Structures are given as C-alpha cells and as structure tokens.
Structure 1
Amino acid sequence: MPQAKDDPDLRVRQTRSTKPEIPPKTEEKKDGETQEGAPGSSSRIEAKVRVKIRRGKRLDRCADILGGLPGIEDCAVDQENQVVLLTISAADNKALNAVLTKFSTLVEQEWMKVDSKKLKEDRA
C-alpha cells in the first residue's frame, strides 16, 4: 500500500476524479446574461437556404450530410419538392460567409443545386 501512495499517476487520477465539471454552468450563465443584460450586443445572423436535390438522388442521405456540416442549426426535408431546407447561424457576417462558402463548394461539387439564400438578423 505505501507504493500506491508514492505513485504520482495514482495521485493525479484521484485529484482529477474529484474535480467538478464547471464549464457547462458558466456557459449557461453567459447565455442568460447576454439574453437579459444586453439585447443589442449579442445578435446572431441566420441564413435560410433551400437546396434542390437532383432527381434520382437519395433525399434522406443528402439531408444527413448537409445537417452534419458545422454551422448548420436545423435541417428539414420536403419530400414532394425534392428540397432540403437548412438554417445556418453564425456570430457575424464573416463567419456566416465562411460557412456558406464551404457549403456552396460542397453543393457544387456534389449532387445538389442551391435555389435561394436569404439572410436575416436574429436577436439572441
């Protein structure tokens, strides 16, 4: 037993396991403060993108791929019109343009065609 007390790895493991998880609580507090405290300072920009999927392509697979991209908040499928509706959210125009550029590059290389892009500001 004295050997276990002298083992530095064992001591590190014990101290790490007793520390509480603090970061999620601070993130929640930050979100709450920005929403209540300063409504104008924390605006997010949102883009609604409608993607027309070419005939013969699997709509569900396309939606899974598009919904998994970074920056995509919501993904919905319109089976009748062969369309995937996406909501992209970013902190500012520069970040939104980076997401849209990545997205449109993928769309052009793959099997889709972007129909329309509409930007609007959403106050967080």
Structure 2
Amino acid sequence: ESREGYHSLVSVQGRLHSCRQCTFVTKYCANMKRHICKHISERPFQCHSCPAAFSQDSHLARHIRTHTGKRPYSCDVCSASFSERSNLMKHMHTHTGERPYSCDHRNTPFLHKANLIKHMRTHS
C-alpha cells in the first residue's frame, strides 16, 4: 500500500493515527492498517471451506471453528464448552448469579444485554 494511499484514509498528528472514515484512533500504524481494511473491504484471509473472507487472521480462525465444531473454551463448573471466550465469560454469570446489565430507570438487573435493551423499549 502506498504512503499516499494510507494518508488519504488516515490523518497522522504526532504519534496518533486517526481514521478519516470513523472515530478510530491509535498510536500504531500496524493497528490502523488492520482497521482501515474494514472500510476498504479488503479481506485477504479466505476460508478454505466456504466463500467467507476476513480482514484479520484472528477472525478467520474464529470462523473456522464453525466448520470444525471445535469448542476450546470450557466451563470449570459444568460441562458447557464454547467456541468463543466471550461466550464462556457470559455463561459464567449463570453460575455466579451476577446480572451485569441494569436499567437506569428502575435499577432492574438483567443477565443478558439483549434483555435489557428489550426492557428499555418499555420506557419509550
């Protein structure tokens, strides 16, 4: 990628690289190059099992688990396993009783963000 092409998409002020398409800012050129792939639809990481392609290798790795059925993240409390760490972390709330999402109007706690969003519609 040319220097001119990069600067047409990114503003550099001192050490900060700011995306001209959105509010993303980083100190690192490599992070910005990875980020701008989202805007220019560059998806160099191709799945060999289907037509899906991704801008980051980590996203491809996560996608490949949909084909392999691999679930490397396991709950220490029960036998549940997950393909993504974030889903394991959400699952752990079922064991701790924690309800991390709260309604500002009634201080009603919810286990899932989607349920809070649905509830918030009752206030509008």
- Please give the TM-score of this superposition, normalised by the length of structure 1: 0.26
Higher normalized contact order (CA 8 Å, seq sep 6+, divided by chain length)? 1
Larger radius of gyration: 1
